[in-house]
Protein backbone atom coordinates (compact mmCIF):
# COMPACT_ATOMS: atom_id res chain seq x y z
CA UNK A 1 0.00 0.00 0.00
CA UNK A 2 1.30 3.46 -0.89
CA UNK A 3 1.56 5.89 2.01
CA UNK A 4 1.07 9.57 1.33
CA UNK A 5 3.51 11.71 3.32
CA UNK A 6 1.84 13.88 6.01
CA UNK A 7 2.60 17.17 4.24
CA UNK A 8 1.18 15.81 1.00
CA UNK A 9 -1.97 14.66 2.80
CA UNK A 10 -2.40 18.14 4.24
CA UNK A 11 -1.91 19.69 0.80
CA UNK A 12 -4.48 17.38 -0.75
CA UNK A 13 -6.97 17.97 2.03
CA UNK A 14 -6.34 21.70 1.78
CA UNK A 15 -6.88 21.64 -1.97
CA UNK A 16 -10.17 19.78 -1.59
CA UNK A 17 -11.31 22.18 1.12
CA UNK A 18 -10.45 25.20 -1.02
CA UNK A 19 -12.19 23.64 -4.03
CA UNK A 20 -15.33 22.98 -2.00
CA UNK A 21 -15.22 26.44 -0.40
CA UNK A 22 -15.06 28.02 -3.85
CA UNK A 23 -18.21 26.14 -4.85
CA UNK A 24 -20.18 27.08 -1.73
CA UNK A 25 -20.51 30.59 -3.17
CA UNK A 26 -21.96 29.23 -6.42
CA UNK A 27 -25.49 28.12 -7.16
CA UNK A 28 -24.25 25.40 -9.49
CA UNK A 29 -23.36 21.99 -8.07
CA UNK A 30 -19.78 20.99 -8.93
CA UNK A 31 -19.33 18.32 -11.61
CA UNK A 32 -18.86 14.77 -10.39
CA UNK A 33 -15.21 13.88 -9.73
CA UNK A 34 -15.71 10.53 -11.48
CA UNK A 35 -16.89 12.30 -14.62
CA UNK A 36 -13.94 14.70 -14.56
CA UNK A 37 -11.57 11.77 -14.15
CA UNK A 38 -12.85 10.24 -17.38
CA UNK A 39 -11.87 13.34 -19.38
CA UNK A 40 -8.32 11.98 -19.41
CA UNK A 41 -9.26 8.34 -19.93
CA UNK A 42 -7.20 6.22 -22.32
CA UNK A 43 -10.50 5.16 -23.88
CA UNK A 44 -11.56 7.65 -26.59
CA UNK A 45 -15.27 6.88 -26.21
CA UNK A 46 -15.08 7.50 -22.45
CA UNK A 47 -13.42 10.86 -23.06
CA UNK A 48 -16.16 11.89 -25.49
CA UNK A 49 -18.91 10.73 -23.12
CA UNK A 50 -17.35 12.64 -20.22
CA UNK A 51 -17.03 15.76 -22.39
CA UNK A 52 -20.71 15.54 -23.38
CA UNK A 53 -21.71 15.10 -19.71
CA UNK A 54 -19.60 18.11 -18.73
CA UNK A 55 -21.29 20.24 -21.41
CA UNK A 56 -24.72 19.14 -20.16
CA UNK A 57 -23.67 20.13 -16.63
CA UNK A 58 -22.32 23.50 -17.81
CA UNK A 59 -25.51 24.43 -19.65
CA UNK A 60 -27.45 24.35 -16.37
CA UNK A 61 -25.74 27.56 -15.27
CA UNK A 62 -23.59 28.94 -18.11
CA UNK A 63 -22.36 32.11 -16.40
CA UNK A 64 -20.76 30.28 -13.46
CA UNK A 65 -19.68 27.29 -15.53
CA UNK A 66 -17.78 29.53 -17.98
CA UNK A 67 -15.58 30.88 -15.18
CA UNK A 68 -14.86 27.40 -13.86
CA UNK A 69 -14.12 25.95 -17.30
CA UNK A 70 -11.91 28.89 -18.25
CA UNK A 71 -9.77 28.34 -15.16
CA UNK A 72 -9.48 24.61 -15.88
CA UNK A 73 -8.75 25.18 -19.58
CA UNK A 74 -5.80 27.36 -18.57
CA UNK A 75 -4.46 25.50 -15.56
CA UNK A 76 -5.16 21.77 -15.68
CA UNK A 77 -1.93 19.82 -15.74
CA UNK A 78 -2.99 17.32 -18.43
CA UNK A 79 -2.87 18.73 -22.00
CA UNK A 80 -5.57 16.30 -23.20
CA UNK A 81 -7.89 17.32 -20.36
CA UNK A 82 -7.19 21.00 -21.05
CA UNK A 83 -8.32 20.41 -24.65
CA UNK A 84 -11.54 18.82 -23.39
CA UNK A 85 -12.25 21.74 -21.06
CA UNK A 86 -11.53 24.17 -23.89
CA UNK A 87 -13.87 22.31 -26.27
CA UNK A 88 -16.71 22.41 -23.73
CA UNK A 89 -16.04 26.08 -23.01
CA UNK A 90 -16.15 26.84 -26.75
CA UNK A 91 -19.55 25.17 -27.09
CA UNK A 92 -20.86 27.14 -24.13
CA UNK A 93 -19.52 30.47 -25.41
CA UNK A 94 -21.00 29.81 -28.87
CA UNK A 95 -24.36 28.78 -27.38
CA UNK A 96 -24.62 31.81 -25.12
CA UNK A 97 -22.38 34.75 -26.09
CA UNK A 98 -22.01 34.22 -29.83
CA UNK A 99 -25.69 33.55 -30.47
CA UNK A 100 -26.74 36.59 -28.46
CA UNK A 101 -24.23 38.86 -30.18
CA UNK A 102 -25.70 39.15 -33.65
CA UNK A 103 -28.78 39.45 -35.83
CA UNK A 104 -31.46 36.86 -36.48
CA UNK A 105 -31.24 34.69 -39.58
CA UNK A 106 -33.58 32.21 -41.28
CA UNK A 107 -31.53 30.78 -44.15
CA UNK A 108 -33.60 30.99 -47.33
CA UNK A 109 -33.33 32.55 -50.76
CA UNK A 110 -36.45 34.66 -51.30
CA UNK A 111 -38.64 36.02 -54.07
CA UNK A 112 -41.84 38.10 -53.84
CA UNK A 113 -45.01 36.12 -54.57
CA UNK A 114 -48.47 37.72 -55.01
CA UNK A 115 -51.01 35.38 -53.37
CA UNK A 116 -54.57 35.17 -52.13
CA UNK A 117 -54.79 34.09 -48.51
CA UNK A 118 -57.88 32.27 -47.20
CA UNK A 119 -59.96 34.70 -45.15
CA UNK A 120 -58.44 37.82 -46.71
CA UNK A 121 -60.36 39.49 -49.54
CA UNK A 122 -57.32 41.47 -50.71
CA UNK A 123 -54.22 40.11 -52.42
CA UNK A 124 -51.08 39.90 -50.33
CA UNK A 125 -47.44 39.89 -51.25
CA UNK A 126 -45.96 36.71 -49.86
CA UNK A 127 -42.33 35.64 -49.65
CA UNK A 128 -41.56 32.48 -51.54
CA UNK A 129 -38.67 30.32 -50.33
CA UNK A 130 -36.85 29.47 -53.54
CA UNK A 131 -34.04 27.65 -51.72
CA UNK A 132 -33.53 26.49 -48.13
CA UNK A 133 -29.89 26.48 -47.05
CA UNK A 134 -29.02 23.20 -45.28
CA UNK A 135 -28.08 23.45 -41.62
CA UNK A 136 -29.97 26.72 -41.05
CA UNK A 137 -32.95 27.69 -38.92
CA UNK A 138 -35.21 27.33 -41.95
CA UNK A 139 -34.09 23.76 -42.60
CA UNK A 140 -34.46 22.83 -38.92
CA UNK A 141 -38.01 24.19 -38.83
CA UNK A 142 -39.14 22.19 -41.86
CA UNK A 143 -39.40 25.03 -44.38
CA UNK A 144 -39.07 23.73 -47.93
CA UNK A 145 -38.65 25.40 -51.33
CA UNK A 146 -42.02 26.56 -52.62
CA UNK A 147 -43.39 27.52 -49.21
CA UNK A 148 -44.78 31.07 -49.22
CA UNK A 149 -44.52 33.08 -46.00
CA UNK A 150 -47.60 35.31 -45.72
CA UNK A 151 -47.18 36.41 -42.09
CA UNK A 152 -44.23 36.78 -39.72
CA UNK A 153 -45.36 37.51 -36.18
CA UNK A 154 -47.82 40.39 -36.60
CA UNK A 155 -46.37 41.41 -39.98
CA UNK A 156 -48.03 40.94 -43.37
CA UNK A 157 -47.42 42.67 -46.70
CA UNK A 158 -49.28 44.02 -49.71
CA UNK A 159 -46.55 45.24 -52.06
CA UNK A 160 -43.05 44.62 -53.38
CA UNK A 161 -41.41 45.90 -50.19
CA UNK A 162 -42.31 42.54 -48.62
CA UNK A 163 -38.88 40.91 -48.96
CA UNK A 164 -37.02 43.93 -47.59
CA UNK A 165 -39.51 44.36 -44.72
CA UNK A 166 -39.34 40.67 -43.84
CA UNK A 167 -35.53 40.68 -43.88
CA UNK A 168 -35.46 43.79 -41.68
CA UNK A 169 -37.94 42.22 -39.24
CA UNK A 170 -35.85 39.06 -38.92
CA UNK A 171 -32.66 41.02 -38.32
CA UNK A 172 -34.32 42.97 -35.51
CA UNK A 173 -34.61 39.71 -33.58
CA UNK A 174 -31.80 37.95 -31.77
CA UNK A 175 -30.42 34.52 -32.64
CA UNK A 176 -32.11 31.86 -30.55
CA UNK A 177 -35.44 33.69 -30.48
CA UNK A 178 -38.51 31.72 -31.53
CA UNK A 179 -40.75 33.37 -34.13
CA UNK A 180 -43.95 32.21 -35.82
CA UNK A 181 -44.64 32.31 -39.55
CA UNK A 182 -47.83 31.54 -41.43
CA UNK A 183 -47.21 29.71 -44.68
CA UNK A 184 -49.17 28.95 -47.78
CA UNK A 185 -48.26 25.35 -48.49
CA UNK A 186 -50.12 23.38 -51.13
CA UNK A 187 -52.92 25.95 -50.99
CA UNK A 188 -53.39 25.64 -47.23
CA UNK A 189 -52.51 28.12 -44.48
CA UNK A 190 -50.13 26.57 -41.92
CA UNK A 191 -48.32 28.01 -38.88
CA UNK A 192 -44.66 27.14 -38.33
CA UNK A 193 -42.26 28.02 -35.51
CA UNK A 194 -38.67 28.93 -36.32
CA UNK A 195 -35.80 29.30 -33.84
CA UNK A 196 -33.62 31.93 -35.49
CA UNK A 197 -29.96 31.35 -36.21
CA UNK A 198 -27.16 33.92 -36.23
CA UNK A 199 -26.81 35.90 -39.45
CA UNK A 200 -23.51 34.93 -41.12
CA UNK A 201 -21.25 37.43 -42.90
CA UNK A 202 -22.46 38.55 -46.35
CA UNK A 203 -25.61 36.41 -46.16
CA UNK A 204 -27.62 39.13 -47.91
CA UNK A 205 -25.77 38.52 -51.17
CA UNK A 206 -27.75 35.31 -51.64
CA UNK A 207 -31.16 36.95 -51.57
CA UNK A 208 -31.55 37.22 -55.32
CA UNK A 209 -28.14 36.15 -56.60
CA UNK A 210 -26.64 32.86 -57.61
CA UNK A 211 -27.22 29.70 -55.62
CA UNK A 212 -24.98 29.65 -52.55
CA UNK A 213 -22.24 27.10 -52.04
CA UNK A 214 -23.75 25.51 -48.93
CA UNK A 215 -20.53 23.70 -48.00
CA UNK A 216 -18.64 27.00 -48.16
CA UNK A 217 -21.32 28.68 -46.05
CA UNK A 218 -21.08 25.97 -43.40
CA UNK A 219 -17.28 26.25 -43.34
CA UNK A 220 -17.49 30.04 -43.12
CA UNK A 221 -19.92 29.79 -40.21
CA UNK A 222 -17.55 27.48 -38.30
CA UNK A 223 -14.58 29.76 -38.99
CA UNK A 224 -16.59 32.71 -37.66
CA UNK A 225 -17.38 30.75 -34.48
CA UNK A 226 -13.72 29.80 -34.05
CA UNK A 227 -12.61 33.41 -34.47
CA UNK A 228 -15.24 34.62 -32.00
CA UNK A 229 -14.16 32.08 -29.38
CA UNK A 230 -10.44 32.82 -29.80
CA UNK A 231 -11.14 36.53 -29.37
CA UNK A 232 -13.34 35.85 -26.32
CA UNK A 233 -10.68 33.61 -24.76
CA UNK A 234 -7.86 36.10 -25.36
CA UNK A 235 -9.87 38.93 -23.82
CA UNK A 236 -10.46 36.80 -20.72
CA UNK A 237 -6.72 36.14 -20.44
CA UNK A 238 -5.92 39.84 -20.77
CA UNK A 239 -8.52 40.71 -18.13
CA UNK A 240 -6.96 38.40 -15.52
User: What total of structural domains would you count in the chain?
Assistant: 2
Backbone angles phi, psi at 227, to 5 degrees: -65, -40
In a domain, 116, yes or no: yes
Give per-residue pLDDT as tens, 16-37: 444 444 444 455 677 888 889 8
Residues 108 and 96 in one domain: no
Q: Which residues pair with 179 in a beta bridge?
A: 194
| 83 and 178 housed in the same domain | no
pLDDT of residue 74: 95
Looking at residue 27, its pLDDT comes to 56
Among residues 78, 100, 122, the one where a domain terminates is: 100
Higher model confidence: residue 205 or residue 183?
Answer: 183
Residue 219 inside a domain? The answer is: no
Residues 109 and 96 in one domain: no
Q: Is residue 40 part of a domain?
A: yes
Asked if residue 240 is part of any domain, the answer here is no
- b/e per residue, 48-80, with b = 16+ CB within 10 A? eebbebbbebbeeebeebbebbbebbeebeeee
**Structural domain harbouring 150:** 104-209
Could you say which of 85, 100, 115 is where a domain stops? 100
Mean pLDDT (whole number) for 218-234: 89
Task: Identify whether residues 31 and 66 lie together within a single domain.
Answer: yes
Residue 224 lies in a domain: no
Q: What is the pTM of this model?
A: 0.64
Amino acid sequence: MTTIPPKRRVAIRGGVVLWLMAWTALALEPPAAEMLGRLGSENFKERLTAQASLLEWARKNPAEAKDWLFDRALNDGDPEVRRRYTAVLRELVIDVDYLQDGEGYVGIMMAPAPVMVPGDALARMGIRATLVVPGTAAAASGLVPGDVIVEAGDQSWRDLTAVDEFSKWIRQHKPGQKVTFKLLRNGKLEPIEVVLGRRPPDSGMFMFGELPDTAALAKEAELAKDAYFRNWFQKRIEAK
